[in-house]
Amino acid sequence: MTSAVFTPFLLPCGASLPNRLAKAAMEENMADEGQIPGPAILRLYQRWAEGGTGLLITGNVMVDGRAMTGPGGIVLEKNSAIAPFKAWAQAAKQKNTQVWMQINHPGRQVYAAMGGDVLSPSDVPLDLGKHSHLFGKPRAMTHQDIEQLIQRFVDTAVKAEQAGFDGVQIHAAHGYLLSQFLSPLTNKREDEYGGSIENRMRLLIAVIKAVRAQVASSFAVAVKINSADFQRGGFDANDAKTVILAMNTLAVDLVELSGGSYESPAMQGSTADGRTLQREAYFLDFAKDIAQVATMPIMTTGGVRRLAIAEDVLTHGIDVIGMGTALAMNPSLPNDWKKDEQLSAHNPRVQWKDKTLSAIATMAVVKRQLRRMGEGKPPKPNASPIFSLISDRIRIKKLTKRYQGYLAR
């Protein structure tokens, strides 16, 4: 009997996903010089395509090279050379896989050491206790900044389509810029972009409409939002429902529900407001509630490592199951499940006393697996968190130097 997980799924734009499994975006930080995709990222995506995942969503591609989540990030702007991106799309689309580019602006979540332009709806800096100094001080965006930002999302989406990607995912989760507008903790504006949730979501709605107007109707436009920020007084499940209701009237092909931010890394299973998440499928309770008001397909990501859990997610009215870490630990997990339904992917979560350091170390372990695959090696699930963290810091230092040269040019 074939599991429902391996049945195709038709999207509103008319494209068909070969199965219900998606590789959710993970920040690879593996750009070549000039912040472009190179051989390492091509090898990585080819590996995932061969592993049997139906939809591959790239790690976040920046709409503005002056604002990056990390110094090894990929940038796609209006005047970027398209050939490297065509090669990336081609590598990812082997085996009938769909590939979408996640497009993003980090807002205030920019490391101070990198420099660049640190924007936010308001000038509220990140609060990570003793680690707060690691991030740049944001400036509040002007109306001109907002107009330019909308255009940048459009430019990047149009270029992604030209390069052969099947769609884009607009990143409005995890405390990045569009998510900062949605949250009352970071959005203290008193103009039409602040105050009520209707005002706070105005920018996201404008970006979706502008992108949809400039790409083909067969090109997927998806959105990633938080089911909640998991911070007291932050964006919550009721806010998420209001945003979904507004998106129901737009041609959105898929909404991915996640949660958290740098201040509250719920996407790794830990929260700042003390709420406990399920051990697997972290956001399922929120997603099934929100899915009841959504007319577009819904995807949820966070902590899925076993086929039984993936099947359970589908029974709750969720259409697509996102996996990140599980596919970093085993890129062939979907194909392996067809042979062994009991197989579970390794969970690399680091649990040290310092929560911020634990979150950074967990990410370092995951990113190390992505780099190994980019080098043509298999993942090493039991990698040492300390070694991964130290080698990641050394690597980031080198990449930061290279990125500062890019900025200067």
CA distance 139 to 55: 36
- The DSSP string of 266-290 is GGGT--SS-PPPPSSSTTHHHHHHH
Contacts (Cβ under 8 Å, ≥6 apart) of 132: 125, 126
Provide the pLDDT for residue 360. 85
In the structure encoding, which two tokens stand for residue 161, read together?
A: 């389509």
Per-residue pLDDT of 105-153, as tens digits, reads 999 999 999 988 999 999 998 888 888 888 999 999 999 999 999 999 9
Contacts (Cβ under 8 Å, ≥6 apart) of 103: 60, 61, 63, 76, 153, 156, 157, 160, 168, 169, 170, 171
Domain annotation for the chain: domains and CATH numbers: 4-345 (3.20.20.70)
Alpha helices by DSSP H, 305-379: 307-314, 325-329, 333-339, 355-374
pLDDT band (50, 70, 90) for residue 269: low
DSSP-derived secondary structure letter, 220: E
CA distance 123 to 113: 19
User: pTM of the entire structure?
Assistant: 0.95
Alpha-carbon distances, residue 119 vs 15, 34, 37, 71, 87 (angstroms): 35, 22, 25, 17, 32
Helix (H) or strand (E) holding 171: strand 167-172
- The DSSP string of 94-123 is GGG-EEEEEEE--TT--BGGG-S--EESS-
Provide the pLDDT for residue 277. 57
CA distance 346 to 362: 12
pLDDT band (50, 70, 90) for residue 1: low
Alpha-carbon distances, residue 64 vs 144, 301, 352 (angstroms): 15, 26, 35
Mean pLDDT of the chain: 93
Per-residue pLDDT of 83-112, as tens digits, reads 999 999 999 998 899 999 999 999 999 999
CA distance 362 to 187: 29
Provide the pLDDT for residue 260. 79
Of 192, 178, 185, nearest to 225 by C-alpha is 178
Of 295, 352, 287, 357, nearest to 322 by C-alpha is 287
Provide the pLDDT for residue 276. 62
